[in-house]
Amino acid sequence: MEEINAYPWLLWLHIATAIVFFFVHGAAMAIAFRLPQEGTVAGMRALLNITGVTLPFLFGSYLLLQAFGIMLTFMATWWQQAWPWLSFILLNGMTFWMTWYA
């Protein structure tokens, strides 16, 4: 039997989850900027309902993005280099800062 190389599949999944994360994060930010301008309670509820739908995708893609990135780091033996860990620290640092700031 032929051995299947999982690296290209994980790389594709890493890129796909990054795209999902950026799109869902953009939708959440658009709602956050629109919410203070909404004048009606019904409009605010509608915007917050959209946020409730997008949050599971945001958190899921965030966790998968990190998981696939860490797997790829060890599969490609990049764990000895600084840039994968720097990207991991920057992503988590920005996440903690944005959560604290919000």
Please tell me the predicted confidence (pLDDT) of residue 62.
95
Burial class (CB in 10 A: 0-12, 13-18, 19+), 60: middle
Residue 88: its pLDDT value, please? Answer: 93
| Structure tokens that stand for 44 in this block | 């605010």
What 1-7 contacts at long range (C-beta under 8 Å, 24+ apart), as own/partner pairs, is 6/75, 7/72, 7/75, 7/76
pLDDT at 101: 85
pTM of this prediction?
Answer: 0.81
pLDDT of residue 3: 60
Q: Which residues of the chain have pLDDT under 70?
A: 1-4
**pLDDT at position 92, please?**
94
